[in-house]
Structure 1
Amino acid sequence: MARMAAYDRIADWYENEFLAQQGDSDPIGVRRALGSLLGSGDGVCLEIGCGTGAYAGQVRELGWTPVGMDLSAGMLRHARGRLPTVRADVSQLPARTSSISTAIAVMVHTDIPDYPLVLGEVARVLRPGGVFVHVGVHPCFCGGFADRTDRDAVVLRPGYLDSHWTYESWTDQGVRAKVGGMHRPLPELLHAFLDAGLTFERFTEGGSPTPTVFAVRMRKP
């Protein structure tokens, strides 16, 4: 029997309520970060953990051909029509070594407890000189330790320094309270990129006045 992913049970809510509330807006700068770090190009762009394919349109507008991989059949059901997809465990990518020129992961690293393994797989399938763009929640200011009730004065409590899985969140209406999330301090996340053999090129943050998004563009030597 195929393994059920955590997002399967909330896929309809995610598509019809969570994403619908955002519409075409970019409240925390996810799309801005993706656009500035990925940039225009052509060829296949593999999205790791593509979910419902919410960013496929933007990737296509930049000139790329998006292809998505995700474990959740429920999320992929909503991705139909937005991009070609493969249901797969992204810690074991079904792609040949050095076969892909460009890959992205957008707002998914907290959903994947073994994200360092995923980064190793990304580095494996990228061609030499290939680009990987990571866009994720900011490790320093988002997590169960961060009370974001007042966006102008985020309160950080103990917990940032320790890697942990948690369902704690400043709101019970968001994704984390429903499926949980993995927190890694910023140095641990950066070391995971380096350990995978990727080289940093550019960084950006998104959200104001306290950043919500941390994004990196990397290249395989």
Structure 2
Amino acid sequence: MLSANRLSTHPPVWLHGSMATAAYDEIADWYETEFLPRQGDTDPLGTTRALRDLLGRPDDAGNGCLEIGCGTGVHAATVRELGWMPIGVDISSRMLRHAAGRMPVVRGDVERLPFGSGTLPAVIAVWVHTDMPAYPAVVREVARVLRPGGLFVHIGTHPCFCGGFADRSDLSAVVVRPGYLDGHWTKASYTDQGIRDKVGATHWPLPALLSMVTDAGLRFERFAEGGQPSPAMFGWAARKA
């Protein structure tokens, strides 16, 4: 069991790699005070439903669940309701200012998680893989810190129906253009009211995304989709042997 007092709510300043420039620093307050309130209490993409279904309840009350790329910590309440102790890690100090009021947090590089090998019972990644161009390395790092039998839950952008190649301005008739097979980063977006036009997104085709998990030695258990009429969310639960 992890102890909350092992993690600081005042993140240290680390400057190696991408730590020096966090794209979300510039939009952290907008994200917390404008973007999130627009979502209200609705769950149109089924994120909360999928998180509850894929993560489930821990074997022991109080077990730690690490959220990588936790942002402002909006999923901490759901994790806590399930019986886990939420812990967050992110590179954006300004996002963590908001998250620190919701759970213990640490500023860190998700490619170099500040946890020992085989120590965590669960890790979640919610709507963040498109922010991480080195997601294969991130998944390997998740596998490293998970203890045997540990669970990795991924929930994020559906790779088949969302991306710079997909025009979702009319959800009743999503247009998929050429470009799905090209792994790329783009700021192309059908709206200027969202996140991607501000920080961009990395696209991974479905086979590449799934192969990251098996290559890291994790075993798939369940999958989830969400959003109507065309899915916008895709998720899974995978376990370490």
Query: Which of the five TM-score ranges fits, normalised by the shorter chain?
Result: over 0.9
SS of equivalent residue, structure 1 residue 34: helix
- 1:123 is matched with 143
Q: CA deviation at 1:214?
A: 0.3
Letter in 2 for 1:167: K
- 2:49 is matched with 32
Q: Does 1:82 align with 2:99?
A: no
Give the distance between the partners of 2:102 and 2:201, measured in 1 at CA: 26
Superposition map of 1:46-195 within 5 A? 46-195=66-215
Letter in 2 for 1:26: D
Q: CA deviation at 1:142?
A: 0.5
Aligned length: 221
Q: CA deviation at 1:189?
A: 0.3
Give the distance between the partners of 1:30 and 1:51, measured in 2 at CA: 15
Give the distance between the partners of 2:230 and 2:116, measured in 1 at CA: 40
Shift >4 Å, 4+ stretches: none
TM-score, length-scaled by structure 2: 0.90
Give the distance between the partners of 1:126 and 1:78, measured in 2 at CA: 26
Q: Does 1:215 align with 2:235?
A: yes
Percent of aligned pairs with the same residue?
63
Q: CA deviation at 1:4?
A: 2.3
SS of equivalent residue, structure 1 residue 28: coil
**Residues 161-190 of structure 1: CA distance to partner in whole angstroms, max 9, x if unpaired?**
110000111112210000000001000000
Q: CA deviation at 1:200?
A: 0.3
**Residues 95-141 of structure 1: CA distance to partner in whole angstroms, max 9, x if unpaired?**
00001011100000000000110000000000011101000110000
Q: CA deviation at 1:147?
A: 0.6
Letter in 1 for 2:28: A
Structure 2: segments with no counterpart, 5+ residues: 1-13
Letter in 1 for 2:103: L
- 2:37 is matched with 20
Letter in 2 for 1:10: I
Q: CA deviation at 1:40?
A: 1.6
Give the distance between the partners of 1:70 and 1:153, measured in 2 at CA: 36
Q: Does 1:44 align with 2:61?
A: no
Give the distance between the partners of 1:67 and 1:106, measured in 2 at CA: 13
SS of equivalent residue, structure 2 residue 164: coil
- 2:6 is matched with none
Give the distance between the partners of 2:34 and 2:45, measured in 1 at CA: 17
Query: How well do the aligned residues superpose, as a CA RMSD in angstroms?
Result: 0.9
Letter in 2 for 1:188: A
Letter in 2 for 1:84: P
Give the distance between the partners of 1:49 and 1:35, measured in 2 at CA: 18
- 2:4 is matched with none
Give the distance between the partners of 1:56 and 1:98, measured in 2 at CA: 22
Give the distance between the partners of 1:123 and 1:86, measured in 2 at CA: 19
Q: CA deviation at 1:150?
A: 0.8
TM-score, length-scaled by structure 1: 0.98
SS of equivalent residue, structure 2 residue 31: helix
